Homo-oligomer: A and B are copies of this chain.
Amino acid sequence: MIKVGVVGGTGYTGVELLRLLSRHPGVTLTAITSRGEAGMPVAEMFPSLRRRVDLKFVTPQDAQLEKCDVVFFATPNGIAMKQAAELVAAGVRVIDLAADFRIRDVAEWQKWYGMEHAAPELVTEAVYGLPEVNREQIRKARVLANPGCYPTAVQLGFLPLVEAGLVDTDHLIADAKSGVSGAGRKAEVHTLLPEAADSFKAYGVPGHRHLPEIRQGLSLAAGSQVGLTFVPHLTPMIRGIHATLYGRIKHGVDLPDLQALFEKRYANETFVDVMPAGSHPETRSVRASNLCRIAVHRPQGGDTIVVLSVIDNLVKGAAGQAVQNLNIMFGFDEEAGLDIVPVSP
């Protein structure tokens, strides 16, 4: 049993981590921190965890995180980068669910996140935790940058096409739709139910923080800098991301069987399910699970390929992928704690 700490347990990624870790056969939860709620039983704030988690929130000071084997940061951007170095020095491995270590270009990160980076040296060392790309590096990671929700859905959908060099990577388009939990558990007007229910909107069209992260991942896969138009939308549901991806077939390329290409790419991946040809995956088909389901289409035999990719933004898009990374880092079965059948309806 390894000892696990969670910093920032009061947001949606935090409580989702607790849901998953409370059933994980190989871990002991030793501390969950919250400055604001220190002293309150975790299950009082989250009744769904009654009888499952009997810890109280503690202050970071009282958490003795240095005694953990691994610490998850389910905090806002800019927190983990300040605390990771000390933990790593103490031999604790760090998994950051926020964006602090995702972008290798620190200047670029600073531009998009609007703050100075506190630990650029750890950025260099950090491993980007998309297991379907980086599994081997993840095993040894001391600092793990857990991917963003949109970047997970978009990269997993585009990767087979980009790696095979089939589409024009100067003009990729990702039209993505997210449930409202993606906006976090923050007291804000625009995500109140009467504002966000029964309505649909795009946001961040001029530029969204996940754009450079997606671009970085796809550029690595392509072997050259990709061009991407990324439009996120808010859809009136709690969980789920649906990415609709458009790539134009490269002029003169010899197009293989797309279905076979995708199936082969993910043949050994427990959590990526390539749906049968002609499918339209629904977000509810992965609800509460760590799965990504993907379908690939070539409408009317034209020159545009359309990929549909769905995940649960709180699981494969956040806490579940973090647990998957934990499993890889500590040699557990990759499905440990994640053997969940999606909840549908």
Contacts and interface: CB of A to CB of B under 8 A. Distances in A.
Summarize A's interface: helix, strand, loop or mixed: loop
Nearest to A195: B345
B341 A52 contact: yes
Contact of A297 (B191, B201, B205, B345): B205
Contacts of A239: 194, 198, 345
A69 interface: no
Interface in A131-182: 171, 173, 175, 177, 179-181
Contact of A203 (B49, B206, B280): B280
A229 B341 contact: no
Interface residue tally on A, bucketed by range:
35 or more
**Can you tell how many copies of this chain the complex includes?**
4
A339 interface: yes
A144 to B, nearest CB: 24
B345 A181 contact: yes
A158 to B, nearest CB: 15
Nearest to A182: B194
A78 B233 CA distance: 36
A310 B300 CA distance: 27
Contact of A341 (B19, B173, B196, B227): B19
A3 interface: no
A278 B206 contact: yes
Given A171-B304, A185-B345, A197-B238, 4 more contacts: A194-B239, A197-B198, A199-B282, A203-B280
26 contacts: A12-B345, A15-B344, A47-B275, A47-B281, A48-B284, A171-B304, A173-B173, A173-B246, A185-B194, A187-B192, A188-B192, A197-B236, A198-B237, A198-B240, A198-B284, A198-B287, A200-B283, A201-B281, A205-B297, A227-B302, A229-B299, A231-B299, A233-B242, A235-B236, A236-B236, A239-B345
Interface of A: 12, 15, 19, 22-23, 46-52, 171, 173, 175, 177, 179-181, 185-189, 191-203, 205-207, 227, 229-231, 233, 235-240, 242, 244, 246, 248, 273, 275, 278-288, 293, 297, 299-300, 302-304, 306, 308, 310, 314, 339, 341-345
